[in-house]
Structure 1
Amino acid sequence: MAELSVVVYGRNVQGHLPEALEELADAAPAVEVVLAAVGASAQEAAARHPYVTVVPLPDGTPDAAARAASAARATGRWLQFVHSKDGVPALAARAVAERAAALDDTVDVLLTDHVRSTWRHSRMPSPDGRFLAKPGRRDVPPADCPDLLRVTPLLGTRVVRRAFWQAYESERAPSDQVAADDELFTAYALLLTAGRIATHDQVAFEDRQLRAESLPPVTADDRFALLETYERLLNLAADRDGGPGPSAVLYAAMVSASLRIVARDRLPEPAAREFFRRASHAAVAHRPPGYRHPGGLEGVRRRLLEEDAYAKYRTFQAVNQRRRKVRSAVGAGRAAVGRKVRGARYHQDLRRPIDSNLAVFSAYWDRGVACNPAAIAAKLAELAPHIHPVWVVAAENVPLLPPGTDHVVPGTRRYSRVLATAKYLVNNANFPNAVVKRPDAVHVQTHHGTPLKRMGLDQLDYPAAAKGLNFHDLLARVDRWDYSVSSNSHSTQMWQRAYQSRYVELDYGYPRNDVYYSATAADVRAVRERLGIAPGKRALLYAPTHRDYEATWTPRLDLATLADRLGDDTVLLVRGHYFYGGTVTPLAGLRRAGRVIDVSTYDPVEDLALAADALITDYSSIMFDYANLDRPIVIYADDWETYAKTRGVYFDLLAEPPGQVARTQEELTRILTSDAWRDETAAKARAGFRRRFCEFDDGRAAERVVRRVFLGESESSLPPITPVDERTPAPAPAPASASASEEATP
Structure 2
Amino acid sequence: MPELSVIVHGPNTQDHLTGLLDSLAAHPHPGTEVVVAAVGDWAQETAERHAPGIQVLPLPDGTSDAAARAAGAARATGRWLHFVHAKDGLPPGGPRTIAERVAELPPTVDVLLIDHVRSTWRTLGLPSADGPLLARAGRTDLVLDDSAYLLRLTPLLGTRVLRAGFWRAHRDRLTTDDEPHAALAALLLADRVACLPHVAHEDRRLRPASLPPVTAEQHYALVDRYESLLDLTRDRPAAYTVLYEIMVRDCLRAFARGGMPEDVAREFFRRASLAALRRRPEGHRRPAGLDGVRRSLLEEGAYTRYRAFQAANRTRRAVRSTVRAGRRQLGTRVRDHQYRRALRRPVDPRLAVFAAYWNRGVACNPAAIAAKLAELAPHIHPVWVVTAENAALLPPGTDHVVPGTRRYGEVLATAKYLVNNVNFPNAVVKRPDAVHLQTHHGTPLKRMGLDQMSFPAAAQGLDFAALLERVDKWDYSLSSNSHTTRMWERAYPSRFVSLDHGYPRNDVYYTAGADDVRAVRERLGIAPGRRAVLYAPTHRDYEAGWTPRLDLAALADRLGEDTVLLVRGHYFYDGTASPPAGPRRSGRIVDVSSYDPVEELCLAADVLVTDYSSIMFDYANLDRPLVIHADDWETYRTTRGVYFDLMTEAPGPVARTQEELTEILTTDAWRDEGAAKARAAFRRRFCEYDDGRAAERVVRRVFLGQDEASLPPVLPLEERTPAPSPEEACPP
- Tell me which interval the TM-score lies in, with the shorter structure as reference length: over 0.9
Q: Tell me how many residue pairs correspond in the alignment.
A: 730
* Counterpart-to-counterpart distance in 2, 1:613 and 1:584: 22
CA contact (8 A) 1:146 1:249 kept: yes
- Name 1:516's counterpart in structure 2: 509
CA contact (8 A) 1:25 1:90 kept: no
- Name 2:636's counterpart in structure 1: 643
How far is the alpha carbon of 1:682 from its aligned partner?
2.6
Q: Superposed, which structure 2 residues align to 1:153-552 within 5 Å?
A: 153-169=155-171, 172=173, 180-238=176-234, 241=235, 243-335=236-328, 339-552=332-545
Q: Superposed, which structure 2 residues align to 1:602-617 within 5 Å?
A: 602-617=595-610
- Name 1:709's counterpart in structure 2: 702
How far is the alpha carbon of 1:581 from its aligned partner?
12
* Counterpart-to-counterpart distance in 1, 2:67 and 2:717: 35
How far is the alpha carbon of 1:579 from its aligned partner?
14
- Name 2:132's counterpart in structure 1: 130
How far is the alpha carbon of 1:327 from its aligned partner?
4.0
Q: CA offsets, 1:353-385, max 9 Å, x none? A: 322222111111110110000000110111111
How far is the alpha carbon of 1:684 from its aligned partner?
2.6
Q: Superposed, which structure 2 residues align to 1:100-111 within 5 Å?
A: 100-111=102-113
CA contact (8 A) 1:428 1:447 kept: yes
Structure 2 CA distance for partners of 1:505 and 1:598, relative to 1, 3 Å: same
Residue identity opposite 1:614 in structure 2? V
User: Does structure 1 residue 60 correspond to structure 2 residue 53?
Assistant: no
CA contact (8 A) 2:575 2:593 kept: no
Structure 2 CA distance for partners of 1:654 and 1:248, relative to 1, 3 Å: farther
Residue identity opposite 2:111 in structure 1? V
- Name 1:744's counterpart in structure 2: none
Q: Superposed, which structure 2 residues align to 1:568-583 within 5 Å?
A: 568-576=561-569
Partner of 1:623: helix, strand, or coil? helix
Residue identity opposite 1:7 in structure 2? I
Q: Percent identity?
A: 70
Partner of 1:65: helix, strand, or coil? helix
- Which of 120, 123, 137 is residue 121 of structure 1 equivalent to? 123
* Counterpart-to-counterpart distance in 1, 2:96 and 2:678: 36
- Name 1:27's counterpart in structure 2: 27
* Counterpart-to-counterpart distance in 2, 1:340 and 1:703: 41
User: Does structure 1 residue 558 correspond to structure 2 residue 551?
Assistant: yes
Partner of 2:495: helix, strand, or coil? coil
Structure 2 CA distance for partners of 1:423 and 1:89, relative to 1, 3 Å: same
Q: Which consecutive unaligned segments of at least 5 residues does structure 1 have? A: 742-746
User: Does structure 1 residue 629 correspond to structure 2 residue 622?
Assistant: yes
Partner of 2:312: helix, strand, or coil? helix
User: Which contiguous aligned blocks of 4+ residues in structure 1 show a shift greater than 4 angstroms?
Assistant: 336-339, 577-586
How far is the alpha carbon of 1:251 from its aligned partner?
1.4
Question: Normalised by the size of structure 2, how large is the TM-score?
Answer: 0.95
How far is the alpha carbon of 1:328 from its aligned partner?
4.3
- Which of 673, 680, 687 is residue 694 of structure 1 equivalent to? 687
* Counterpart-to-counterpart distance in 1, 2:132 and 2:470: 40
Structure 2 CA distance for partners of 1:32 and 1:344, relative to 1, 3 Å: same
Structure 2 CA distance for partners of 1:159 and 1:652, relative to 1, 3 Å: farther
Q: CA offsets, 1:192-216, max 9 Å, x none? A: 1122222222222222211111111
Partner of 1:16: helix, strand, or coil? helix
Structure 2 CA distance for partners of 1:564 and 1:264, relative to 1, 3 Å: same
Structure 2 CA distance for partners of 1:40 and 1:306, relative to 1, 3 Å: same
CA contact (8 A) 2:335 2:406 kept: no
CA contact (8 A) 2:445 2:612 kept: yes
- Name 2:80's counterpart in structure 1: 78
Q: CA offsets, 1:371-404, max 9 Å, x none? A: 0000001101111112111111111112211122
Structure 2 CA distance for partners of 1:112 and 1:582, relative to 1, 3 Å: closer
* Counterpart-to-counterpart distance in 2, 1:583 and 1:302: 66
Moved more, 91-100 or 585-594: 585-594
The RMSD of aligned alpha carbons is: 2.4
CA contact (8 A) 1:615 1:634 kept: yes
Moved more, 394-403 or 284-293: 284-293
User: Does structure 1 residue 737 correspond to structure 2 residue 727?
Assistant: no
User: Does structure 1 residue 39 correspond to structure 2 residue 40?
Assistant: yes
How far is the alpha carbon of 1:566 from its aligned partner?
2.4
CA contact (8 A) 1:81 1:155 kept: yes
* Counterpart-to-counterpart distance in 2, 1:122 and 1:653: 28
User: Does structure 1 residue 599 correspond to structure 2 residue 582?
Assistant: no
